[in-house]
Amino acid sequence: MIYRYIESPVGQLLLAGDGDGLKTIGFPQGSGRVTVDAGWELASDCFADARAQLREYFDGKRRHFELKLAPMGTRFQLAVLAALQTIPHGETRSYRDIAEQIGRPRAVRAVGAANGRNPLPIVIPCHRVIGADGSLTGFGGGLEAKRFLLQLEGVALPETRQGSLF
């Protein structure tokens, strides 16, 4: 695999993949942190299209990504990832919504687990999945990054007495 790092408002992101396409976007912290394997090759000029499209997204100029993606996972996980890609920019869905969309309405927890294993966050918008009660739930880049991404997209988030979600 080849990889590079790019700067973003949510920290330095790791982009990795191969000739099949982009396979991984890793955050600098949280459960979405990706460690470079010994066999990976740093290539600072790779994934120029992903870098440009992510920059446009963070600048508020892009709502949909047009990248060659090559996520890996089970058939179920890939079905969840496909469903995530149908969530429009600026909208959210619950885990139950996704479970129903893929025809597995009782698999809400499994959908949550597959969502949490999304190898291509931001581009495959797992940040758009929230709790059924409207609350923010886990995110590989941390809840602050999730909050930032949703606010960037214009999603109105609930506030607590202190003026924040937590």
CA 117 to chain centre: 9
126 is catalytic: yes
Sign, Cα dihedral of 47, 52, 57, 59: positive
Angle between helix 108-116 and helix 75-84 axes, rounded to 10 deg:
80
Token look-up 């129903």 returns 100
Catalytic pick among 10, 107, 126, 149: 126
With contact defined as beta carbons under 8 Å apart, do 102 and 83 qualify?
yes
Long-range contact list for 92-99, CB < 8 A, 24+ apart? 92/128, 92/129, 92/130, 92/150, 92/155, 93/128, 93/129, 93/130, 94/129, 94/130, 94/131, 94/132, 95/129, 95/131, 95/132, 95/137, 96/132, 98/129
Active-site residue list: 126
